[in-house]
Amino acid sequence: MMKPNINVTPLIDVLLVLLIIFMVVSPLKPTGFKTKIPHEPDTDNAQVKDNSHALVVSLGKDSSLKLNGTGEVGTVEESDKLVARLRTVFQERKENKVYSENAALNASLSEDERVEKTVFIKAPKSVDYGRVAKLIDAVKISGANPISLQIDDLEN
């Protein structure tokens, strides 16, 4: 009685074809990661002008919230006042056609997407991450986009 033999030649042929395909395709894969590294700021701050449309939400050590340094707008745990105030500001900006610099000329965006809704969050270093995360969530609920963290002039 004859023993059955497995013919591995077709299997080797397929493996060689796959090896050639991978060797041809692998140089086409992107291998770099492009980043933009910030440069040192100029020491001459006379050129820097303040943005009149900047919204800065300040978080105090006692969890109190302020919008642009004035007026209490609640606390981190009760952020309804802040959300309502930011929504009011965004609605006023929409009515007055206050657009962000990048989106003002882009006609493909809707009017709601063009409105300046950038919000900076400023918190002291001693505040725990959980309270800052709650504040970020409250600002997101108001419709702000993008949300940035302010890292200069932080108090301890």
**CA–CA separation, 29 vs 31, rounded Å?**
6
**CA–CA separation, 88 vs 115, rounded Å?**
13
User: How many domains are contained in the chain?
Assistant: 1
pLDDT value at position 19? 95
Q: Is residue 30 part of a domain?
A: no
pLDDT value at position 17? 95
CATH number assigned to the domain comprising residue 75: 3.30.420.270
pLDDT value at position 132? 87
User: What digits encode the pLDDT tens for the residues 23-56?
Assistant: 888 776 666 656 566 667 666 655 656 666 778 8
Q: Is residue 88 part of a domain?
A: yes
| Angle value at C-alpha 153, between 49 and 117, nearest 5 degrees | 55
pLDDT value at position 13? 94
Q: Is residue 14 part of a domain?
A: no
pLDDT value at position 104? 59
DSSP 115: B
Length of the chain: 156
State which residues of the chain have pLDDT below 70: 28-39, 41-52, 102-105, 107, 151-156
pTM: 0.63
pLDDT value at position 12? 94
Q: Is residue 144 part of a domain?
A: yes
Q: Is residue 92 part of a domain?
A: yes
Provide the residue range defining the domain that includes 105: 54-149
Q: Is residue 120 part of a domain?
A: yes
Q: Is residue 112 part of a domain?
A: yes
Q: Is residue 44 part of a domain?
A: no
Q: Which helix (H) or strand (E) holds 77?
A: none
